[in-house]
């Protein structure tokens, strides 16, 4: 089973499991507010929500920037199907595609350059050898100065964070996934992918190599401290 198929198989239970994760939605909204501070929110800014899943990040963006036009992109048909069942502003769009295909996607919705790009829990799910190139490809569609916000787990910098993450996964996340009928292999993958994920320093280096500037990282609060991080950057050059 591919990763996108695994997400599809657990799509119906995904929102429930995130609601059981203390601070998940709070930190997602915090990351959305971070993007809002970097945006010119006058008019109707276009925001790409890459790896939007069931639309939880889309909702966080619209709650924070209600005048935005959000275009969600995800590789999982099942996750997008769950997103589309929800109520959205009329011009909210969802595109079924892999972020690795950008900026070569033929989706008409992506022909419009974004005023901001948001990607929660995305880069970790891209093959390690492709991550810098994916960031560079995304940047090709961004105008000069356009902000990017990445939001994801990384525990490489702290042994305590690795231990905390493992305990949370095996004592809470995976048992709850089993109880709710979700695909537990997806959440075992989640545990392993976070342990193997880039350090925060590596992500910042990737952003610089991809052509971004003003790169920064901030830590989450609560139990997510040293586990969850938000990265900010701006496009350094003009669109290709």
Domain membership of residue 164 (yes or no) is no
Please give the pLDDT value at position 3.
Answer: 57
Task: Give the CATH number of the domain where residue 73 resides.
Answer: 3.40.50.150
Side-chain half-sphere of 29: how many Cα atoms within 13 Å? 9
Low-confidence ranges of the chain (pLDDT < 70): 1-13, 41, 103-106, 237-240
Please give the pLDDT value at position 239.
Answer: 45
Instruction: Express each pLDDT in 63-88 by its tens digit.
Output: 999 999 999 999 988 889 999 999 99
Produce one character per residue of 141-153: b if its CB has 16 or more CB atoms within 10 Å, e if not. Answer: bbeeebbbbbbbb
Domain membership of residue 76 (yes or no) is yes
Domain membership of residue 172 (yes or no) is no
Q: Taking the CB of residue 23, how many other CB atoms lie within 10 A of it?
A: 15
Which parts of the chain fold into alpha helices (H)?
3-9, 11-19, 24-38, 56-64, 77-84, 131-140, 159-168, 174-180, 184-195, 200-209
Domain membership of residue 170 (yes or no) is no
Domain membership of residue 162 (yes or no) is no
Range of the domain at 49: 3-155+198-235
Please give the pLDDT value at position 19.
Answer: 75
Please give the pLDDT value at position 10.
Answer: 58
Please give the pLDDT value at position 6.
Answer: 52
Domain membership of residue 29 (yes or no) is yes
Q: What total of structural domains would you count in the chain?
A: 1
Q: Is the peptide bond before 108 cis (omega within 30 degrees of 0)?
A: no
Q: Are strands 212-219 and 93-96 parallel, antiparallel or unpaired?
A: unpaired
Please give the pLDDT value at position 237.
Answer: 67
Domain membership of residue 22 (yes or no) is yes
């Amino acid at each position: 089973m591919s990763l996108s198929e695994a997400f599809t198989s657990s799509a119906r239970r995904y929102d429930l499991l995130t609601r059981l994760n203390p601070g998940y939605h709070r930190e997602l909204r915090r990351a959305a507010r971070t993007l809002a501070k970097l945006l010119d929110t006058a008019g109707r800014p276009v925001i790409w929500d890459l790896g939007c899943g069931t639309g939880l990040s889309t909702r966080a963006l619209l709650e924070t920037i209600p005048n935005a036009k959000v275009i969600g992109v995800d590789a999982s048909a099942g996750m997008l199907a769950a997103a589309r069942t929800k109520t959205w502003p009329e011009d909210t769009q969802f595109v079924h595609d892999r972020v690795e295909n950008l900026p070569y996607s033929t989706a008409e919705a992506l022909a419009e350059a974004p005023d901001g790009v948001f990607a929660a829990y995305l880069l970790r799910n891209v093959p390690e050898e492709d991550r810098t190139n994916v960031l560079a490809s995304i940047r090709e569609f961004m105008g000069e100065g356009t902000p990017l916000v990445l939001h994801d787990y990384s525990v490489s910098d702290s042994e305590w964070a690795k231990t905390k993450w493992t305990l949370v996964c095996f004592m809470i996340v995976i048992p709850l996934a089993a109880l709710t009928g979700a695909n537990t292999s997806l959440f075992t993958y989640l545990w392993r992918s976070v342990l193997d994920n880039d350090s925060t320093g590596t992500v910042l280096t990737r952003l610089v190599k991809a052509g971004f500037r003003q790169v920064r990282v901030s830590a989450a609060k609560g139990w997510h401290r040293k586990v969850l991080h938000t990265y900010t950057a701006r496009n350094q050059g003009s669109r290709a």
